[in-house]
Amino acid sequence: MEPDRYLKALADAARGLDPDEVTAAADRIEAAWARGATVFVVGNGGSAATASHMACDLAKSATPGLAAGNRVVPLLDTSVLTAWANDVSYEAVFAAQLATQARAGDILIVVTASGNSPSIVQALTTARTRRVETIALLGFDGGRARSLADDVIMVPADHYGVVEDLHLAVNHMITELLGARALASSSVAASPTVGGTR
């Protein structure tokens, strides 16, 4: 695709994003952290890089200053992934980790353009059986993941590059929103009572 056409496709898809879907995902993450839950993040290939980036941003950018960090775990350790892939199957690499680490009330975020990757579908299925809430960043028609996730953020595009670019933008929107909320909350908590105490 020529650069001008790519930029147009990117802009068109960006305009088609639903801000309410982004806000709903941020709300779910905020509520999970308020109850002490852990957020797990997964993805394959380029989406694995986005998932890792998202885990970094959620753990740091969504927490102001040196406040107690919120628990975020990217299930992307190379040794663990290759052990499960070698000894069981690649399809199980995320689901197996969830089965041992996740608890009811935690959150799983999946990043996948097609929504049909077997490892992602298995992870979402396992999350459902363990009462783990789910958020899916998707593209194309959402694939099988669309009906398995609690919250869905759809990038309205059928080009992998455009979808992956905007998944990273969605990550930044979520972390910016959560970071701003956390900062506002900490500022209110630190403010002295108006008029002093009596």
In 3D, which of 144, 117, 141 has the Cα closest to residue 44? 117
Comparing 185 with 122, which gets the higher pLDDT?
A: 122
**Amino acid 1: pLDDT:** 85
CB atoms under 10 Å from CB of 34, counted, come to 9
Helices (H), the chain: 3-16, 19-34, 46-60, 78-87, 93-101, 118-129, 145-148, 160-190
**Amino acid 146: pLDDT:** 98
**Amino acid 193: pLDDT:** 53
Residue 24, domain member (yes or no): yes
pLDDT by residue (tens digit) across 25-69? 999 999 999 999 999 999 999 999 999 999 999 988 776 655 556
SS3 state of residue 149: coil
Residue 190, domain member (yes or no): no
Pairwise CA distance, residues 29 & 102, whole Å: 15
Residue 130, domain member (yes or no): yes
Asked if the model's pLDDT at residue 179 lies above 70, the reply is yes
Residue 131 contacts residue 105 (beta carbons within 8 Å): yes
Pairwise CA distance, residues 12 & 170, whole Å: 15
Domain that holds residue 15: 3-182
pLDDT band at 182 (very low <50, low <70, confident <90, very high): confident
Which residues lie across from 44 on neighbouring strands?
A: none
Task: Give me the number of domains the chain comprises.
Answer: 1
SS3 state of residue 81: helix
Residue 68, domain member (yes or no): yes
Residue 134 contacts residue 107 (beta carbons within 8 Å): yes
Average pLDDT over residues 67-88: 90
pLDDT by residue (tens digit) across 149-177? 999 999 999 999 999 999 999 999 999 99
Residue 195, domain member (yes or no): no
**Amino acid 197: pLDDT:** 45
Asked if the model's pLDDT at residue 14 lies above 50, the reply is yes
Pairwise CA distance, residues 2 & 131, whole Å: 45
| Mean pLDDT taken over the chain | 92
CATH number of 37's domain: 3.40.50.10490
Residue 196, domain member (yes or no): no
DSSP conformation letters of 128-148: HHTT-EEEEEE-TT-TTHHHH
Residue 175, domain member (yes or no): yes
**Amino acid 60: pLDDT:** 85
**Amino acid 191: pLDDT:** 54
Asked if the model's pLDDT at residue 4 lies above 70, the reply is yes
